[in-house]
Amino acid sequence: MIHMVYDVTGCELTGLGTTELVGAMRKTAALLGCTVLGELPVQFQPHGATAVIVLAESHITVSTWPEIGLAHIDVFTCRADAEVDDAVAPVLAALRAGEVKVQEVTRLGPPTSSRSTVESGASGNCRIAQCS
């Protein structure tokens, strides 16, 4: 599992709408080899936006604060072969990013047996088979 968090400062967000932002996020998903299941873009007034793309392999989120040139990007995927830093380039380009700080968050992988799933308290629709 890969969970990367990007803090992006010095962004030039004037004129960036949710349509362009979601388009860049979809490109990132494609570069990761992920399947987009849905999206939820929200434009706030007077400024700023948050967009979420739900993937079969987890999610991508972006939140912006144009008034201070700040954006946060969160990419979480169970694709261990993903090159997230390369794939996030379309989003960084859309944000017209200045400085980018990256953190990799250590996450546990999926349980190895159904017994572990029950014992861990996990429930619902786990699609481990899609994670490679």
pLDDT at 81: 78
Count of domains for the chain: 1
Residue 37: strand, helix, or coil: strand
Neighbour-count burial of 42, counting CB atoms closer than 10 A to its CB (0-12 exposed, 13-18 middle, 19+ buried)? exposed
Distance spanning both ends of the chain, measured CA to CA: 9
Three-point CA angle 132, 71, 89, nearest 5°:
50
pLDDT at 46: 87
- CATH code for the domain in which residue 9 is found: 3.60.90.10
Q: Which range of residues forms the domain containing residue 118?
A: 2-130
In which band, very low, low, confident or very high, does the pLDDT at 1 lie, cut at 50, 70 and 90?
confident
pLDDT, one tens digit per residue, over 3-37 is 999 999 999 998 899 999 999 999 999 999 999 99
Give the residue among 15, 7, 128 at the shortest CA–CA distance from 75. Answer: 7
